[in-house]
């Protein structure tokens, strides 16, 4: 598994080990900590063909999770890792005789701005050169993978939507989890009214395993959850945290009209939060049809309230563990 130390990787590792699998966990930096007898950590570089051939030798199944996630318009490293990195891993997997590869792509490989309000596996792809680099690179990575599939690699592609939920030990937390942590503590007074399809990270991990077992070679499977507005999501988190949610909702239409103004301001401030990539998806808010994954893989995402409840409990558990006795968190 590439990207094993990341957010999705951590959750997929938990599932695989729980099922009794022995896992070779690949990442650029091997984490420190107690060793698990079912996990062998190795250092690997997805841009180095020799490195990938070495670490994948003997593997039966490869889950490719590595990606550089960015909201920038341009980012050379993201482009290389998300495109060339997919090709390097796929070619190494084919060369060493891996039985199957599951590639974790993204909903962003589909053009959310020209999808007509809904997305399924047949929707337009992120080919527009004006799209953010992450969107374009995730689609390009799929193109690179398909070239290797044409050479004989058995591979399946999964496209998760907005991933959130526990377990998240990332530093910093994922953007959505960070927002919900603040909301659960009553620190989000206002929120944009737009929405997005969000899915529990544990359900994505389960969906990847299901794709490895029952997905058809070369097929895409959207791994979605539920459409929800960010205001409602923050209200859920605040409720589970015993706090009050956002008092004000900012119109997504207003935000959409201000993107050309907000984006340059964000660049001046050194943040990508005020970018088209960050705000555009909330404004367009396409409905995601994950029926194909349900029918062919048996994919069943949990209710979004269950995820928020578990996430808030996760935050509280780790806050309590990090707070010495006698001190207030």
CATH number at residue 16: 3.40.50.720
pLDDT digits (tens, 9 = 90+) for 156-172: 999 999 999 999 999 89
Q: Say if residue 104 is exposed, middle or buried (CB neighbours under 10 Å; 0-12, 13-18, 19+).
A: buried
pLDDT for the residue 257: 67
Task: Decide if 121 is inside a domain.
Answer: yes
Domain count of the chain?
A: 1
> What mean pLDDT is predicted for residues 35-60?
96
R_g over Cα of the chain: 20
Picking from 135, 278, 293, the residue whose alpha carbon sits closest to that of residue 203 is 293
- The answer to whether position 171 is within a domain reads yes
Please tell me the distance from the alpha carbon of residue 32 to that of residue 148, in angstroms, as a whole number: 34
Give per-residue pLDDT as tens, 229-282: 989 999 999 999 999 989 988 776 676 666 666 666 656 655 555 566 666 666
In a domain, residue 247? The reply is no
Ramachandran angles phi, psi of 38, nearest 5°: -90, 0
The answer to whether position 326 is within a domain reads no
* Average pLDDT rounded to a whole number, residues 28-56: 92
pLDDT of 16 higher than 60: yes
CA distance 253 to 216: 40
In a domain, 325, yes or no: no
Tell me, yes or no, whether 1 lies in a domain.
Answer: no
Q: Which tokens is 175 given?
A: 């953007």
Question: In this structure, how many other beta carbons lie within 10 angstroms of the beta carbon of residue 26?
Answer: 30
**Residue 161 within a domain:** yes
- Strand-pair partners of 101: 62, 155
State the burial class of residue 297 (Cβ atoms within 10 Å of its Cβ: 0-12, 13-18, 19+): buried
pLDDT band with cut points at 50, 70 and 90 for residue 71: confident
Name the nearest CA neighbour of 123 among 74, 159, 71: 159
Local structure of residue 84 (DSSP, 8 states): I
Asked whether the predicted pLDDT for residue 304 surpasses 70, the reply is yes
The better pLDDT of the pair 34, 292 is held by: 292
Q: Are 14 and 25 in contact (CB under 8 A)?
A: no
**Is residue 315 in some structural domain?**
no
* Structure confidence by residue, pLDDT tens digits, 110-127: 998 887 789 999 999 999
The whole domain housing 122 covers 7-233+236-242+271-304
State the Cα–Cα distance between residues 313 and 237, nearest whole angstrom: 10
Closest CA to 120 of 288, 296, 298, 294: 288
Contact 46, 85 (CB under 8 A): yes
pTM of the model: 0.92
């Amino acid at each position: 598994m590439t990207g094993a130390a990341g957010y999705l990787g951590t959750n997929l590792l938990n599932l695989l080990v729980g099922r009794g699998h022995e896992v070779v966990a690949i990442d650029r930096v091997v984490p420190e900590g107690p060793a698990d007898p079912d996990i062998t950590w190795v250092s690997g570089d997805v841009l180095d063909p020799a490195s990938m051939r070495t670490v994948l030798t003997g593997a039966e199944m490869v889950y490719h999770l590595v990606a550089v996630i960015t909201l920038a318009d341009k980012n050379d490293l993201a482009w290389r890792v998300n495109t060339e990195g997919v090709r390097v891993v796929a070619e190494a997997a084919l060369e060493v005789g891996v039985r199957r590869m599951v590639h974790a792509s993204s909903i962003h490989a589909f053009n959310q701005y020209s999808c007509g309000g809904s997305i399924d596996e047949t929707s337009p792809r992120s080919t527009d050169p004006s799209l953010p680099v992450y969107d374009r690179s995730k689609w390009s990575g799929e193109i690179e993978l398909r070239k290797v599939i044409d050479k004989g690699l058995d591979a399946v592609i999964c496209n998760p939507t907005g991933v959130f939920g526990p377990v998240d030990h990332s530093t910093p937390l994922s953007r959505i989890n960070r927002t919900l942590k603040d909301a659960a503590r009553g620190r989000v007074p206002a929120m944009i009214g737009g929405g997005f399809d969000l899915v529990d990270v544990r359900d994505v991990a389960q969906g990847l395993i299901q794709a490895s077992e029952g997905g058809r070679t070369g097929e895409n499977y959207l791994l979605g959850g539920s459409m929800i507005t960010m205001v409602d999501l923050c209200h859920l988190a605040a409720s589970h945290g015993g706090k009050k949610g956002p008092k004000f909702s900012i119109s997504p239409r207003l935000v959409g009209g201000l993107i050309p103004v907000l984006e340059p301001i964000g660049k001046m401030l050194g943040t990508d939060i005020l970018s088209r990539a960050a705000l555009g998806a909330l404004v367009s808010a396409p409905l995601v049809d994950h029926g194909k994954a349900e029918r062919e893989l048996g994919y069943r995402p949990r209710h979004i309230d269950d995820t928020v409840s578990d996430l808030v409990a996760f935050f509280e558990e780790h806050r309590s563990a990090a707070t010495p006795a006698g001190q207030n968190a």
